[in-house]
Structure 1
Amino acid sequence: MQMKSINKKRVLQWIQENSPTSRAEIAAKISISKPTVSLLVDELIGEKWVYEKGIGESSSQGGRRPIHLYFNEKAAYVIGTDIGGTKVKTVISDLGGNIVHSSSFSTVQFLESGLLKQIAKEVHFMLDECHIPLDQVLGMGAGVPGITQTSNGVVLEAPSLNWIRYPFLAEAAKYFTFPVHVDNDVNVAALGEQWLGNAKNKQNVLFMAVGTGIGSGIIINNQLYRGYSNAAGEMGYMVTDKTDMKKDFKPIFHRYGYLESVAGGKSIEKKLTEVIQQEPDHPAYSQAIKGELPGEMSFSLAKKGDTLAISVIEEAIEHLAYGIINAASLLNPEVIILGGGVLKSSDYILPRLDRIVNHYLPSSVELKTSRLGDNAGVLGAVSLFLREHESIIKFS
Structure 2
Amino acid sequence: MSFKRTPSHLKFVNKKRIIQCIKGCSPISRAEIASMLGLSKPTVSQLVDELIYESWVVEKGIGESSAQGGRRPIQLFFNERKAFIIGADIGGTKVKIVLCDLNGNILAETSFSTTAYLQTGLLKQMAIETDRLLAKNQIAKERILGMGVGIPGITETKSGLVMEAPSLGWIQYPFIAEAKRYFDFPIYIDNDVNVAALGEQWLGNAKNKRNVLFIAVGTGIGSGIILNNQLFRGASSAAGEMGYMVTNKEDMKREFKPIFHRYGYLESVAGGKSIGAQFTKAVQANPEHALYELARSSELAGEEAFLFAKKGDVAAIAIINEAIEHLAYAIVNATSLLNPEIVILGGGVLNSAAYIVPRIQEIVDHYLPSLVELTTSKLGENAGVLGAVSLFLREYESILNVHDEGDFL
Give the structure-2-normalised TM-score. 0.96
Q: Deviations over 1:149-194 (max 9, x none)?
A: 1121110110000000000000011111110000000000000000
Runs (5+) with no aligned partner, structure 2? 1-7
Whether 1:39 and 2:46 are equivalent positions in the alignment is yes
State the match for 1:223 in structure 2.
230
Q: 1:167 pairs with 157, 174, 186, which one?
A: 174
Mapped to 2, the partners of 1:59 and 1:117 lie a distance apart of 57
Question: Does the residue aligned with 2:180 lie in a helix, a strand or coil?
Answer: helix
Give the structure-1-normalised TM-score. 0.99
- Kindly indicate whether the alpha-carbon contact (under 8 Å) linking 2:272 and 2:301 is maintained by their aligned counterparts in 1: no
Q: How far off its partner does 1:294 sit?
A: 1.9
- Kindly indicate whether the alpha-carbon contact (under 8 Å) linking 1:80 and 1:93 is maintained by their aligned counterparts in 2: yes
Q: 1:130 pairs with 130, 137, 140, which one?
A: 137
Q: Deviations over 1:8-38 (max 9, x none)?
A: 1111111111111100001111121111211
Q: 1:29 pairs with 36, 59, 63, which one?
A: 36
- Kindly indicate whether the alpha-carbon contact (under 8 Å) linking 2:350 and 2:380 is maintained by their aligned counterparts in 1: no
Mapped to 1, the partners of 2:30 and 2:158 lie a distance apart of 38
Mapped to 2, the partners of 1:342 and 1:366 lie a distance apart of 17
State the match for 2:149 in structure 1.
142
State the match for 1:294 in structure 2.
301
Q: How far off its partner does 1:300 sit?
A: 1.0
- Kindly indicate whether the alpha-carbon contact (under 8 Å) linking 2:216 and 2:346 is maintained by their aligned counterparts in 1: yes
State the match for 2:251 in structure 1.
244
Mapped to 1, the partners of 2:288 and 2:131 lie a distance apart of 56
Whether 1:96 and 2:125 are equivalent positions in the alignment is no
Q: How far off its partner does 1:343 sit?
A: 2.6
> What amino acid is aligned across from residue 141 of structure 2 in structure 1?
L
> What amino acid is aligned across from residue 382 of structure 1 in structure 2?
V
Q: Deviations over 1:241-295 (max 9, x none)?
A: 0111111210000000000000000000000000111111112111111111122
Mapped to 1, the partners of 2:221 and 2:52 lie a distance apart of 46
State the match for 2:158 in structure 1.
151
Q: Deviations over 1:210-259 (max 9, x none)?
A: 00000000000000000000010000000000111111210000000000
Question: Does the residue aligned with 2:328 lie in a helix, a strand or coil?
Answer: helix
State the match for 2:5 in structure 1.
none
Q: Deviations over 1:327-380 (max 9, x none)?
A: 000001000000011331001001111011111001011111111011000000
> What amino acid is aligned across from residue 103 of structure 2 in structure 1?
G
Question: Does the residue aligned with 1:383 lie in a helix, a strand or coil?
Answer: helix
State the match for 2:3 in structure 1.
none
Question: Does the residue aligned with 1:175 lie in a helix, a strand or coil?
Answer: coil
Whether 1:354 and 2:346 are equivalent positions in the alignment is no
User: What's the RMSD between the two structures over aligned residues?
Assistant: 0.8
Runs (5+) with no aligned partner, structure 1? none
> What amino acid is aligned across from residue 103 of structure 1 in structure 2?
T
For structure 1, which segment, 290-299 or 166-175, has the greater mean C-alpha deviation from structure 2 after superposition? 290-299
> What amino acid is aligned across from residue 126 of structure 1 in structure 2?
L
Mapped to 2, the partners of 1:380 and 1:190 lie a distance apart of 7
State the match for 1:186 in structure 2.
193
- Poorly superposed stretches of 4+, deviation over 4 Å: none
- Kindly indicate whether the alpha-carbon contact (under 8 Å) linking 2:221 and 2:271 is maintained by their aligned counterparts in 1: yes
State the match for 2:400 in structure 1.
393
- Kindly indicate whether the alpha-carbon contact (under 8 Å) linking 2:87 and 2:385 is maintained by their aligned counterparts in 1: yes
State the match for 1:283 in structure 2.
290
Whether 1:339 and 2:346 are equivalent positions in the alignment is yes
Q: 2:268 pairs with 229, 241, 261, which one?
A: 261
- Kindly indicate whether the alpha-carbon contact (under 8 Å) linking 1:264 and 1:342 is maintained by their aligned counterparts in 2: no
- Kindly indicate whether the alpha-carbon contact (under 8 Å) linking 1:272 and 1:312 is maintained by their aligned counterparts in 2: yes
For structure 1, which segment, 273-282 or 378-387, has the greater mean C-alpha deviation from structure 2 after superposition? 273-282
Q: How far off its partner does 1:92 sit?
A: 0.7
State the match for 1:56 in structure 2.
63
Whether 1:204 and 2:211 are equivalent positions in the alignment is yes
Question: Does the residue aligned with 2:99 lie in a helix, a strand or coil?
Answer: strand
State the match for 1:379 in structure 2.
386
Mapped to 2, the partners of 1:185 and 1:364 lie a distance apart of 28
Whether 1:80 and 2:119 are equivalent positions in the alignment is no
- Kindly indicate whether the alpha-carbon contact (under 8 Å) linking 1:82 and 1:378 is maintained by their aligned counterparts in 2: yes
> What amino acid is aligned across from residue 83 of structure 1 in structure 2?
I
